[in-house]
């Protein structure tokens, strides 16, 4: 319905005929004007985003395997076509270098950008050694070339994409390897299930997890031995090469930088009233560096400087990695002398060749959480606050949507460009991850964050709730709090208070037995509070559920 109302001529990406027709028409379009390509590119990115959303948001029982494969293939084809068009636009620019000639150096330099991509292109027209380095002033990216390149017929392109279409290729390669070895692993998995598993005796530990306020009640949790989702029949492939980046542990932040040395194509020559250019049917060609004959010999490195985006957060010094097309993986070798300037938000390094570069950050640097709170602010409204080592993230919930209210780092509000916008929980997760603020544990996060693991027997699980009926907007006084303990089977009121010096399981006199948390709350709550709980919108409850499930605050606090 939204697509129908937009009337922008975009195809329905779920209809194979429409998306194939769209791609075929653009392939045949020979207009390589950079501005037109970037405008069309935004439309392509929107189509890719819609398909990715469908793959993530559609329940498994509502999408067939055939549709899943179709959407994935369409995404890959759109990504490849988009990059081909960017290369075509780059080649077109390099044929008309006189339009972007720098008056001081005589070389061509151009910066063309929109919200999705930034083209930084330099062409070595004068071939003078003293002009071997260059800084694109508009974006503060720069390079320093070896002397051999400074006198060569070469161009340099730094194509910065705000999105990452490279890392998913690693996932496809990993999936292919897993599928190839799945048949061989079936018998091994069956043998393992027949063996008796050992039961570990893990001593109980208490961990403060923060406060929860929801549906008219304020709850604070003290958890002993938090359960973690059990991993069954898990077959992991260890990464033995230290230079290979584990994308389950590190994630690219700030997009991808395609840094290329290119053959300078034949230039336009003006003869009387005619503009003439030699046409070569070879497309955009890479300039080989180091030269093939010098691969065994030492060769000078390339110095690169990148100005980091103001729209992302790097809580630690980023890890620089290069993309290895052959191995379909990010690697850290071939990069040296890294210097990161936090205040200037720039990073300088040396490479032995021209690579596609990404700046990676530990996906779990904001875990474990220091505290969290979920507090109602009105009818079908709530505020989720998660405090990490580096940042405090506030998410406002209203009805069927949520909104990033603020991100505070070192008492400063940051990422103002993404705050104050209503979105679905899935979109909000994508926005925060893209900005470098990851408070959403992944499937394998337990391997990189120290959390208490589930044991098969002898489990003692206690939730210590600090409960108070909270129907008004004002704060709750200390005297209004009561402490209840729940072990999964029964809930009872404790004698201790929040200010008690030591924890004790001693029960309050005449305390009543409750089989569930809900009945415990219902037993002492007022009718007004119960009415508010029962009147809560199912859409609001679903958003709260999705956010709590995504952040997994009980396990990762």
Cα 366 to chain centroid distance, Å, stands at 13
Q: Which of 257, 259, 278 is nearest to 149 (CA)?
A: 259
- Give the separation between CA 34 and CA 119, rounded to whole angstroms: 9
Residue 467 — φ and ψ, nearest 5°? -115, 140
Distance CA 63, CA 31 (A): 37
Six token digits for residue 466: 């600090």
148: CATH: 2.60.220
CA dist 478 and 55 (Å) reads: 47
Q: What is the mean pLDDT of the chain?
A: 82
Joined together, the tokens standing for residue 461 give: 């699980």
Q: Which helix (H) or strand (E) holds 144?
A: strand 141-144
**Cα distance from N-terminal residue to C-terminal residue, the chain:** 41
Residue with tokens 């194939």: 20
Which is it for strands 319-324 and 302-307: parallel, antiparallel or unpaired? unpaired
DSSP designation for 377: E
Q: Indicate if 358 and 415 belong to the same structural domain.
A: no
Do the domain assignments include residue 140? yes
In a domain, 173, yes or no: no
Please state, in angstroms and rounded to a whole number, the distance separating the CA atoms of residues 224 and 207: 7
Query: Residue holding tokens 């007022």?
Result: 526
Query: Is residue 357 located within the same domain as residue 371?
Result: no
Q: Which helix (H) or strand (E) holds 188?
A: helix 167-194
Half-sphere CA count of 535, side-chain side, radius 13 A: 11
Note the maximum CA span of the chain: 105
pTM of the model: 0.83
Domain match, 321 and 299 both: yes
- Residue at 208 is within a domain: no
Examine the fold and report which residue of 87, 119, 153 is the final residue of a domain before the chain moves on: 87
Q: Are residues 445 and 323 part of one domain?
A: no
Taking the C-alpha atoms of residue 17 and residue 21, their distance in angstroms, rounded to an integer, is 6
Residue 193, in any domain of the structure: no
Within a domain: 68: yes
Using CB atoms within 10 A of its CB, is residue 117 exposed (0-12), middle (13-18) or buried (19+)?
buried
Quote the number of domains for the chain. 3
**Separation in Å, CA 222 to CA 321, 370, 521:** 41, 13, 17
Per-residue pLDDT tens listing for the chain (557 residues): 455 555 567 899 999 999 999 999 999 999 999 999 999 999 999 999 999 999 988 999 999 999 999 999 999 999 999 999 999 999 999 988 888 988 888 999 999 999 999 999 999 998 888 888 999 998 999 999 999 999 999 999 999 999 999 998 876 655 555 555 544 444 454 444 444 333 333 333 333 333 444 444 444 444 333 344 444 444 445 567 889 999 999 999 999 999 999 998 887 777 777 877 777 777 889 999 988 765 566 789 999 999 999 899 999 999 999 999 999 999 999 999 999 999 899 999 999 999 999 999 999 999 999 988 888 888 899 999 999 999 999 999 999 999 999 999 999 999 999 999 999 999 999 999 999 999 999 988 999 998 755 433 333 344 555 555 666 655 555 555 677 777 667 777 788 876 778 878 888 877 777 787 677 777 777 788 788 878 889 999 999 999 999 999 878 88
Taking alpha carbons only, the member of 32, 164, 140 closest to residue 86 is 32
CA distance 207 to 506: 19
Q: Are 514 and 522 in contact (CB under 8 A)?
A: no
Q: Provide CB contacts within 8 A for 381, sequence distance 6+.
A: 396, 397, 398, 399, 540
Domain encompassing residue 121: 100-166+243-362
Residue 210's contacts (CB-CB under 8 Å, 6 or more residues apart) are 220, 221, 369, 370, 371, 372, 373, 387, 553, 557
CA triple 522-525-528, angle to 5 deg: 110
- Do 17 and 31 fall into the same domain? yes
Ramachandran class of 7: left when φ > 0, alpha when ψ lies in -120 to 50, beta otherwise = left
Tell me phi and psi for residue 378, to 5 degrees.
Answer: 170, -170
| Cis preceding-peptide flag for 290 (omega within 30 of 0) | yes
Name the residue with tokens 């189509």. 47
The answer on 398 and 373 residing in a single domain is yes
Say whether both 134 and 50 belong to one domain: no
Asked if residue 109 belongs to a domain, the reply is: yes
Last residue of a domain, one of 312, 330, 362: 362
Domain annotation covers residue 214: no
Inside any domain, residue 129: yes
Of 362, 384, 416, the residue that ends a domain is 362
């Amino acid at each position: 319905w939204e697509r129908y109302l937009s009337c922008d001529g975009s195809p329905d990406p779920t209809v194979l005929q429409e998306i194939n027709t769209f791609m075929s028409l653009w392939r045949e379009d020979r207009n390589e004007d950079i501005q037109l390509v970037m405008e069309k590119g935004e439309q392509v990115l929107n189509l890719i985003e819609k398909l990715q959303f469908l793959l993530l948001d559609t329940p498994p029982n509502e999408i067939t395997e055939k549709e899943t494969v179709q959407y994935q293939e369409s995404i890959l084809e759109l990504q490849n076509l988009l990059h081909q068009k960017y290369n075509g636009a780059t080649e077109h620019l390099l044929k008309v270098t006189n339009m972007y000639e720098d008056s001081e150096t005589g070389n061509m330099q151009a910066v063309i950008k929109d919200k999705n991509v930034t083209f930084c292109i330099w062409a070595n027209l004068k071939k003078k050694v003293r002009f071997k380095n260059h800084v694109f002033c508009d974006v503060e990216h720069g390079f320093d070339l070896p002397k051999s390149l400074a006198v060569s017929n070469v161009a340099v392109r730094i194509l910065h994409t705000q999105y990452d279409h490279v890392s998913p290729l690693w996932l496809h390669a990993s999936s292919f390897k897993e599928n190839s070895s799945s048949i061989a692993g079936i018998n091994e998995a069956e043998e393992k299930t027949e063996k008796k598993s050992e039961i570990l005796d893990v001593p109980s530990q208490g961990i403060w997890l923060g406060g929860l306020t929801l549906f008219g009640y304020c709850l604070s949790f003290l958890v002993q031995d938090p359960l973690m989702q059990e991993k069954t029949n898990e077959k992991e492939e260890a990464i033995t090469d230290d230079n290979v980046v584990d994308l389950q542990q590190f994630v690219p932040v700030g997009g991808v930088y395609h840094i290329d040395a290119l053959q300078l194509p034949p230039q336009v020559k003006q003869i009387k009233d005619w503009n003439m250019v030699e046409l070569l049917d070879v497309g955009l060609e890479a300039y080989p560096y180091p030269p093939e004959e010098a691969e065994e010999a030492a060769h000078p490195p390339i110095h690169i400087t990148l100005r980091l985006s103001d729209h992302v957060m790097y809580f630690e010094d980023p890890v620089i990695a290069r993309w290895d097309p052959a191995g379909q993986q990010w690697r850290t070798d071939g990069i040296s002398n890294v210097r990161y300037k936090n205040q200037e938000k720039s990073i300088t390094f040396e490479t032995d060749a021209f690579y596609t570069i990404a700046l990676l950050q530990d996906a779990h640097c904001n875990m474990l959480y220091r505290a969290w709170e979920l507090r109602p602010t009105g009818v079908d409204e709530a505020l989720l606050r998660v405090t990490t080592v580096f940042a405090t993230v506030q998410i406002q919930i209203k009805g069927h949507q949520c909104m990033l209210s603020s991100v505070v780092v070192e008492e400063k509000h940051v990422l103002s460009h993404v705050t104050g916008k209503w979105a679905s929980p899935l979109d909000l997760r994508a926005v925060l991850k893209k900005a470098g603020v990851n408070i959403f544990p992944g499937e394998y996060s337990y391997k990189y964050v120290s959390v208490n693991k589930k044991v098969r027997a002898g489990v003692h699980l206690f939730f210590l709730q600090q409960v108070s009926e909270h129907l008004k907007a004002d704060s709750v006084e200390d005297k209004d709090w009561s402490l209840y303990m729940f072990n999964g089977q029964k809930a009872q009121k404790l004698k201790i208070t929040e200010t008690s010096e030591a924890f004790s399981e001693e029960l309050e006199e005449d305390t009543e037995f409750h089989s569930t948390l809900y009945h415990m709350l219902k037993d002492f709550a007022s009718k007004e509070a119960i009415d508010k709980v029962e009147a809560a919108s199912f859409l609001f409850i679903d958003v709260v559920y999705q956010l709590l499930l995504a952040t997994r605050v009980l396990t990762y606090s």
